Amino acid sequence: MLELVRGLVDNAQRPSSRNAAEIALEDICDQYGFNSAIAIEYGPGLKTFSDVLDSDPDRRSRWPAEIDRYLVSRCVELTKTLAQMSAVSRFDASFFGGDEICIEAARSLGMLEGVAVPIMHQSGLSGVVKFAGTPELHHMQIAGLHTAAYLMFAALQSTRKAEKGQAHLTPREMQVMEKAAQGHTTPEIAMLLGMSERTVNQHTDNVAAKFGTRNRVHTVANLVRLNLL
């Protein structure tokens, strides 16, 4: 048990960037036999997701800065229910109470069944770490998974703080990304700001490179999540 927890602590302390934290979360999934994992931090008032750390690279760009409040509310209620049951709880489709919208959302994310660790703070529920899959776990592994979830949640918060201090937008980049966040296309942004479409794309690419995002939608969502837009 001591060796397992020491390895988890090393994994959580190592990340200096979001990508490193995602890899560390993926390593934990591999150790336990889960398919993937998502660490979700709830926003103020439990109305939004303020941040998400995802071990699945194909799923990361699908997380918007804000998700439909109804789905967030249902996810929070599910997490509260699980927290009342146990610090580490298994979940499946039955926990959604027949709510087809939530069931379909969970299915599309590959999170219809697995293990959830509610993250509790002095002020109450703060988030959840959900592991997808149904590997058999003995009691020592469950205790280690609980520790791992809290460590990765701390890593999620640490990488966000580091991101805020590392990357900055130039005034022109800010203008371009603000227009993109408003839903304007490249030609529209070029016309509104009096620049060429090539220059608009160059600014967008520069911002994506700074934050390690993969496309314009992902970049805008990341900037909103970091409160830079």
pLDDT at 166: 59
149 and 56 in one domain?
A: yes
Tally of structural domains, the chain: 2
CA distance 189 to 187: 6
Domain that holds residue 190: 167-225
194 and 115 in one domain?
A: no
The answer to whether 132 and 111 are in contact (CB under 8 A) is yes
Does the structure show a pLDDT above 50 at 112? yes
pTM, two decimals, is 0.68
What would the pLDDT profile of 115-151 be if each residue is shown by its tens digit?
999 999 877 899 999 999 999 998 888 988 998 898 8
Neighbouring C-alpha atoms within 13 Å toward the C-beta of 229: 19
| Mean confidence (pLDDT) of the chain | 83
pLDDT band, very low/low/confident/very high, at 229 (cuts 50, 70, 90)? confident
CA distance 63 to 184: 20
116 and 171 in one domain?
A: no
pLDDT band, very low/low/confident/very high, at 35 (cuts 50, 70, 90)? very high
DSSP 122-160: TTEEEEEEEEES-----HHHHHHHHHHHHHHHHHHHHHH
